[in-house]
Amino acid sequence: MKRLRATAAGRIRLDHFRLIRRLGSGDLGNVYLCQLLRPAAPASSLYAMKVIDREALAGRQKLQRAETEKEILRLLDHPFLPTLYADFDESHYSFLVMEFCPGGDLHVSRQRQPQRRFTVSSAKFYAAETILALEYLHMMGVVYRDLKPENVLVRDDGHIMLSDFDLSFKCEVVPMLLRERSAAAGRSTTKTSELIAEPIAARSKSFVGTHEYLAPEVISGTGHGSAVDWWTLGVFLYEMIYGRTPFRGEDNEKTIGNIMKQSLSFPLTAKDLISKLLTKNPEKRIGGIKGSAEIKRHDFFKGVNWALIRTVKPPVIPRDQRRSEALRKRNSQLVITKLSRKERDQPFQIPHQFDYF
């Protein structure tokens, strides 16, 4: 992992950055677009900086969640997951400096598609990269728990990056060798072995997540593990292809009721995979025991070269769009919305109070 180097005067500090504008807000803090001010830094040295008010979180008994997120980010080294370039504390704030994704998120991208949904080939591409990210997280003992289009960002080259780990939890992973008998050929049978590194024994009883994406075992409170990520993958894939989530009700209570009781009828496209991902029993859910390998073998992903997926041209490439529309005047102007002259000339100051959802 590449870390930002401290200046000759010492460690990385807030005054080494110029905060440009707020990118988003979450339960643990706000994320800002920022620029590194070091003299030798190129004009395109843009980052996403998460600002966390530790005092506010301590008062809400959520400080440990922020510490867990930081611990997880420090572990990550994967092309579809964020790079933590620096983290530091000043006063009662914590700052996490990460990669900035100028392509926005898949929720916004879906809204721009015809009929507000992706083609099957585009959905397959984004789902495949998401599976590889979840596979790595599970191998590292991380259960993500917050997969949704809003948390899947698009890099400049069009490939994805999962974001927001404030609902994730860390657990132990004990690799196991899974042996299976293949179909009999005459009188002989062959045994196949597969190494599974999936935290299937992990258990949490926390009621966390976005209502439309909650797995039944989260709602019931009986305890859940990594299989919740495969349930949310099913909801995620359904939404990308059909433009809506499958269990949405008039309010949160009805949505939860639909998840627990409603029998879902699936449209033809991707029917088999989505139905297996949205199996209410986590032990019978595809990937629930055998992990990502079982999902990757499904016919829906036939033809996907998992080892070389980074060489595949993404459905949308933000940097190519900007060039074709002549919007890219300077690298330093790689922001989604234009800034006023006043905003450009006056450095952003950290406010005393933060807005939280």
Stretch 124-143: mean pLDDT, rounded? Answer: 96
- Position 248 scores a pLDDT of 76
pLDDT in tens, 232-243: 999 999 999 999
pLDDT of 340 higher than 70: no
Q: Which residues are catalytic?
A: 146
pLDDT digits (tens, 9 = 90+) for 281-338: 999 999 998 899 999 999 999 999 999 999 999 999 887 666 655 444 555 454 444 4
pLDDT on residue 343: 44
| pLDDT-wise least confident of 90-99, 157-166, 213-222 | 213-222
49 pLDDT above the threshold of 60: yes
First-to-last C-alpha distance (Å) of the chain: 31
Beta strands 46-53; 30-36: pairing state: antiparallel
Rounded to 10 deg, the angle between the 227-242 and 120-139 helix axes is 160
Cα 92 from Cα 27, distance rounded (Å): 17
Closest by CA to 13, choosing from 101, 75, 97, 99, is 97
According to the per-residue pLDDT averaged within each range, which of 11-20, 171-180, 185-194, 274-283 is highest? Answer: 274-283
Number of Cα atoms under 13 Å in the Cβ half of residue 314: 22
d(CA 276, CA 135): 18
pLDDT score of 347:
43
> Which residue pairs from 192-196 have beta carbons closer than 8 angstroms and sit at least 24 positions apart in sequence?
194/290, 194/293, 196/289, 196/290, 196/291, 196/293
Arithmetic mean of pLDDT over the chain: 81
Per-residue pLDDT tens for 9-38? Answer: 458 889 899 999 999 988 889 999 999 987
- Whether the CB-CB separation of 285 and 276 falls below 8 Å is answered with yes
Q: CATH number for 14-102+334-345: choose from 3.30.200.20, 1.10.8.80, 3.30.230.10, 3.20.20.70.
A: 3.30.200.20
**% of the chain beyond a pLDDT of 70:** 72
**Left, alpha or beta for 25 (phi > 0: left; psi -120 to 50: alpha)?**
beta
> Domain map of the chain by residue range?
14-102+334-345, 106-311
Question: Do 106-311 and 14-102+334-345 fall under one CATH topology?
Answer: no
- Residue 257: per-residue pLDDT: 73
Q: Which residues contact 98 (CB under 8 A, 6 or more apart)?
A: 47, 48, 49, 50, 73, 82, 83, 84, 85
Reply yes or no on domain 106-311 having CATH 1.10.510.10: yes
Residues near 92 by beta carbon (within 8 Å), at least 6 away in sequence: 53, 54, 55
pLDDT band, very low/low/confident/very high, at 175 (cuts 50, 70, 90): low
- Using DSSP's 3-state secondary structure scheme, residue 58 falls into helix
